[in-house]
């Protein structure tokens, strides 16, 4: 099975004398969840920027499938405030699988007809996850995707993501070791200038 993500000997730092990563290597295939665990400030989100090509590594290489979706930690930054959620979703994704996914993440279709500020943070995060799934990515990048959700909805959403692994691989960044251990095929811990 081909890798949808290959990180080889990756080194990166915002300052030359301080590297967030040094010789970091890992791969991800469809059907896998890889979890990256670490506290704030250790470079988890920077890793996503490198994968997306928004930053260039100091050394090493990153190969990623071109079909990538991302779920951000802050759902309010994920949507334009002036357009309904449905309009923003259908601009980037086909809606053919929407009914099934709405049921799986416990989100009412009527909420998609509203503007982002009219939803709670949890509802908006589920809409963000819905949009990412409807885009049918090979690689789904999840940045603290359940931090805005209560425990019951968090479990429902993570179970839905696991059920939909057949056609994609997921890279999850989180500070929650329990969540990472529960869903990750492999868990990597990131700390200041150290990755293991």
Q: What is the Cα–Cα distance from 125 to 144, expressed in whole angstroms?
A: 10
Cβ contact 172:184 at 8 Å: yes
Structure confidence by residue, pLDDT tens digits, 62-120: 999 999 999 988 888 889 999 999 999 999 999 999 999 999 888 999 999 999 999 99
Which residue did the predictor score with more confidence, 118 or 196?
Answer: 118
Residue 134 is predicted with a pLDDT of 95
Residue 196 is predicted with a pLDDT of 42
User: How does residue 1 score in pLDDT terms, banded at 50, 70 and 90?
Assistant: low
Radius of gyration of the chain (CA): 17
Which residue did the predictor score with more confidence, 130 or 43?
Answer: 130
pLDDT mean over 13-38: 87
pLDDT mean over 16-30: 86
Label the pairing between strands 186-191 and 33-37.
parallel
Cβ contact 140:109 at 8 Å: no
Q: Which domain holds residue 182?
A: 3-195
Structure confidence by residue, pLDDT tens digits, 122-143: 899 999 999 999 999 999 999 9
CATH number reported for the structural domain that contains residue 70 in this entry: 3.40.50.300
Structure confidence by residue, pLDDT tens digits, 145-184: 887 777 887 888 888 888 888 889 999 988 888 888 888 8
Q: How many domains does the chain have?
A: 1
């Amino acid at each position: 099975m081909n890798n949808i993500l290959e990180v080889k000997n990756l080194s990166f730092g915002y300052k030359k004398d301080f590297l967030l990563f040094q010789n970091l290597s890992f791969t991800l295939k469809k059907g896998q969840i890889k979890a990256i665990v670490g506290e704030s400030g250790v470079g988890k989100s920077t890793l996503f920027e490198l994968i997306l090509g928004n930053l260039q590594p100091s050394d090493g290489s990153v190969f990623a499938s071109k079909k990538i979706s991302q779920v951000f930690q802050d759902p309010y930054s994920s949507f334009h405030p002036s357009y309904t959620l449905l309009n923003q979703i259908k601009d980037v994704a086909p809606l053919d699988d929407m009914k099934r996914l709405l049921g799986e993440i416990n989100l009412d279709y009527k909420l998609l007809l509203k503007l982002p500020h009219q939803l709670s943070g949890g509802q908006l995060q589920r809409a963000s996850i819905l949009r990412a799934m409807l885009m049918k990515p090979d690689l789904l990048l999840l940045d603290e995707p359940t931090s805005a959700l209560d425990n019951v909805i968090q479990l429902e959403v993570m179970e839905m993501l696991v059920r939909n692994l057949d056609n994609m691989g997921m890279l999850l960044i989180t500070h929650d070791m329990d969540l990472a251990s529960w869903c990750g095929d492999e868990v990597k811990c990131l700390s200041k200038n150290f990755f293991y």
